[in-house]
Structure 1
Amino acid sequence: MDWFYLIVSGILEIGFTTCLRFTKSLSDIGWFAGLLVCMVTSISLIQLATRSIPMGTAYAVWTALGAAGTVVFGMIVFHEPVSAMRLVFISGIVLCVIGLKLCGN
């Protein structure tokens, strides 16, 4: 179950960054509320995940899901630039996290 918490936590990071993109000020209450909900839930879930997953591995997975997911989400939804080099480096992040998982927990 802890890996499930960790994956959901990483996915919520994509929600956090998406809400951050649209939050211009505190008056954008809907986007700001979404930002807060995603942040608090994400942090809560990673805290639960680290009960059995080593902190370093959990943090690497969490940040990789957030970073890679945000880049891919931006490419698909916001039509951000897609290039071979961007895909290579995003793949590198994902492969490094898989390597951490294979080396330990």
Structure 2
Amino acid sequence: MNWILLIIGGLFETGFAISLGKAQQSTGKELWLWLISFTICVSLSMYLLYKAMGGENAIPVGTAYAVWGAIGAVGTVIAGILLFKEPVSFWRLFFLMTLIISIVGLQVVSSK
């Protein structure tokens, strides 16, 4: 269950990064809606990270933070490509894949 909480928390991390990106492109009421979205996403993300590191099947702090951050980073890069028209290159995708492989590796070696 803790791994599920951590994955969802990482997805909310992507949400708060996207919200910040959209807020920078917005003004007026739309800006405030993106900032509210940021606040909600960052709060949920941190709470889920906190919950994943506690309880009966706690994920070690170092592993939890690394996986949480990597999920957010991968999601943000993909969102940047799709939503913000950021560049796509072989090396960018190559290193994104190495990050994903590292996330899976951390999960495997952290299992009890």
Q: Does 1:53 align with 2:59?
A: yes
Partner of 1:42: 45
CA contact (8 A) 1:26 1:32 kept: no
Q: TM-score, normalised by structure 2?
A: 0.86
The alpha-carbon deviation at position 15 of structure 1 amounts to 0.7
Query: TM-score normalized by structure 1?
Result: 0.91
Structure 2: gaps of 5 or more residues: none
1:100 maps to which residue?
106
* 2:33 counterpart letter in structure 1: G
Task: Give the aligned partner of residue 11 of structure 1.
Answer: 11
Aligned-pair CA distance for 1:79: 2.2
Alpha-carbon shift at residue 26 of structure 1 (Å): 9.2
Alpha-carbon offset, residue 83 of structure 1: 0.8
**Cα offset for 1:78?**
2.3
> Can you give the 5+ residue segments of structure 1 that lack an aligned partner in the other structure?
none
2:91 to 85, 94, 98: 85
Give distance in 1, aligned partners of 2:88 and 2:52: 32
Question: Percent identity between the aligned chains?
Answer: 39
Q: Specify the SS of the correspondent of 2:71.
A: helix
Indicate the RMSD between aligned Cα atoms, in angstroms.
1.7
Number of corresponding residues:
105
